[in-house]
């Protein structure tokens, strides 16, 4: 962190005259207007899965309440393990349980799994291809607490790890659908998590939507622009598409909840249609994430559309109120719409 960024971090944030800061740095809703919410969808889905499969157990590193695992713990206390603030121990214990025939779901914050416990995940879980399911809150820019808690590079870290499947769900619909598919998958999975009251977005735009592991799905058709998005940025892309439609700009949205393996067949087919501007959108650094994976996949197939990326910059981010940060770093609906207009 430079001296200039330190000064910005600790100085009072100046808001436009008449504007009030209504959300705290840490706790801010990601729900947009017009969307219903589901309370703790991960915890609820895990209870349902565990009722059908006695192998399922839950572990956390002192973050049950903040990863919605407390819902599971309250319902099934004899299948819940509190490991304390020891992420390396958490992952090692999960690996041991998996070797004994259990299916552990281990939760923590994304920064702690990807940075602090990476070697334990690589050696104890991924190398042995064990069915440990790692589910992590605060992915990307979903907290205002600054670089210590903002997991802006977690996808890049885990994309390079053999045997690891990576999921970045958009909303409650994805989370409710991904848990049973994670259980059915034989190897390890890393899933980013939206927690608390999570909006239901995808079925509002596509009523028959159902999460499918490893599959990208068109959510909205459009003739001018194709946005290939993942995670909460699918929500932002859909809302931006509605806004751009008012300007006669027709935007298609292709949702990619699975980052690894990436559904390059569907992506290539969509990117080849109609000479559209192709834009990737992700709540992750532009280094090593969805955008670079899509670009490499298209070029390897000889497909070279006009291509742009929306994502976080290759830098440590500021602390502050989450809505302010999303606007600052280009993840808000208005900024997504603005960028697309500029690129057309």
Query: What digits encode the pLDDT tens for the residues 272-330?
Result: 998 999 999 999 999 999 999 999 999 999 999 999 999 999 999 999 999 999 999 99
- How confident is the model over 248-282, as pLDDT tens digits? 999 999 999 999 999 999 999 999 998 999 999 99
Query: Does residue 16 have a pLDDT over 50?
Result: no
pLDDT score at 112: 98
Query: Does residue 31 have a pLDDT over 60?
Result: no
- How confident is the model over 94-116, as pLDDT tens digits? 999 999 999 999 999 999 999 99
pLDDT band at 17 (very low <50, low <70, confident <90, very high): very low
Query: Does residue 162 have a pLDDT over 50?
Result: yes
pLDDT band at 27 (very low <50, low <70, confident <90, very high): very low
Claim to verify: residue 277 and residue 315 sit in the same structural domain: yes
pLDDT score at 274: 84
Claim to verify: residue 247 and residue 133 sit in the same structural domain: no
* Structural domains in the chain (count): 2
CATH number of the structural domain spanning residue 291: 3.40.50.920
Claim to verify: residue 58 and residue 195 sit in the same structural domain: yes
For 253, half-sphere exposure in the C-beta direction (CA atoms, 13 angstrom radius) is 30
Residue 282 structural domain: 214-343
- How confident is the model over 196-221, as pLDDT tens digits? 999 999 999 999 999 999 999 999 99
Residue 197 near residue 37 (C-beta atoms within 8 A): yes
* Residue that is written with structure tokens 């390079």 in the block: 160
pTM for this predicted structure: 0.92
Residue by residue, what is the 3-state secondary structure of 231-257? CHHHHHHHHHHHHHHCCCCCEEEEECC
pLDDT band at 13 (very low <50, low <70, confident <90, very high): very low
- How confident is the model over 42-82, as pLDDT tens digits? 999 999 999 999 999 999 999 999 999 999 999 999 999 99
pLDDT score at 32: 64
Query: Does residue 12 have a pLDDT over 50?
Result: no
Claim to verify: residue 247 and residue 339 sit in the same structural domain: yes
How far apart CA 262 and CA 278 sit, in angstroms, is 17
Task: Tell me: cis bond preceding 261? Omega within 30 of 0 counts.
Answer: yes
Q: Which two tokens stand for residue 321?
A: 């109120």
Q: In what order do the strands lie in the sheet with 217-220?
A: 217-220, 251-255, 225-229, 277-285, 307-312
Claim to verify: residue 136 and residue 195 sit in the same structural domain: yes
Burial class of residue 6 (count of CB atoms within 10 Å of its CB; 0-12, 13-18, 19+): exposed
Quickly list H helices, 202-231: 202-205
pLDDT score at 222: 98
pLDDT score at 33: 73
How far apart CA 236 and CA 116 sit, in angstroms, is 30
Claim to verify: residue 99 and residue 233 sit in the same structural domain: no
Number of helices and strands in the chain (H, E): 14, 14
């Amino acid at each position: 962190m430079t001296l200039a960024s330190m000064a910005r971090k600790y100085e009072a944030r100046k808001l436009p005259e008449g504007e009030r800061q209504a959300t705290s740095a840490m706790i801010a809703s990601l729900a947009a207007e017009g969307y219903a919410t589901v309370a703790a969808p991960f915890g609820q889905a895990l209870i349902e899965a565990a009722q059908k499969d006695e192998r399922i157990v839950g572990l956390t590193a002192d973050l049950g309440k903040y990863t919605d695992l407390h819902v599971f713990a309250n319902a099934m206390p004899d299948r819940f393990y509190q490991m304390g603030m020891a992420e390396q121990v958490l992952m090692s214990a999960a690996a041991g349980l998996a070797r004994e025939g259990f299916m552990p779901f281990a939760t923590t914050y994304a920064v702690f799994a990807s940075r602090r416990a990476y070697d334990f995940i690589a050696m104890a879980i991924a190398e042995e291809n064990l069915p440990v399911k790692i589910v992590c809150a605060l992915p990307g820019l979903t907290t205002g607490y600054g670089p210590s808690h903002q997991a802006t590079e977690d996808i890049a870290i885990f994309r390079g790890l053999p045997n690891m499947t990576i999921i970045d769900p958009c909303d409650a619909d994805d989370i409710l659908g991904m848990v049973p598919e994670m259980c059915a998958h034989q190897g390890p999975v890393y899933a980013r998590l939206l927690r608390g009251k999570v909006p239901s977005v995808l079925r509002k735009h596509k009523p028959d939507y159902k999460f499918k592991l490893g599959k990208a799905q068109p959510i909205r058709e459009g003739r001018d622009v194709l946005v290939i998005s993942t995670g909460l940025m699918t929500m932002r892309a859909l809302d931006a598409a509605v806004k751009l439609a008012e300007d006669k700009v027709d935007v298609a949205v292709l949702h990619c909840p699975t980052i690894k393996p990436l559904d390059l067949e569907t992506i290539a087919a969509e990117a080849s249609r109609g000479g559209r501007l192709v834009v990737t959108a992700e709540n992750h650094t532009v280094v090593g994430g969805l955008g670079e994976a899509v670009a490499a996949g298209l070029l390897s197939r000889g497909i070279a559309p006009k291509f742009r990326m929306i994502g976080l910059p290759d830098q440590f981010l500021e602390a502050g109120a989450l809505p302010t940060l999303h606007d600052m770093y280009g993840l808000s609906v208005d900024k997504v719409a603005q960028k697309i207009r500029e690129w057309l």
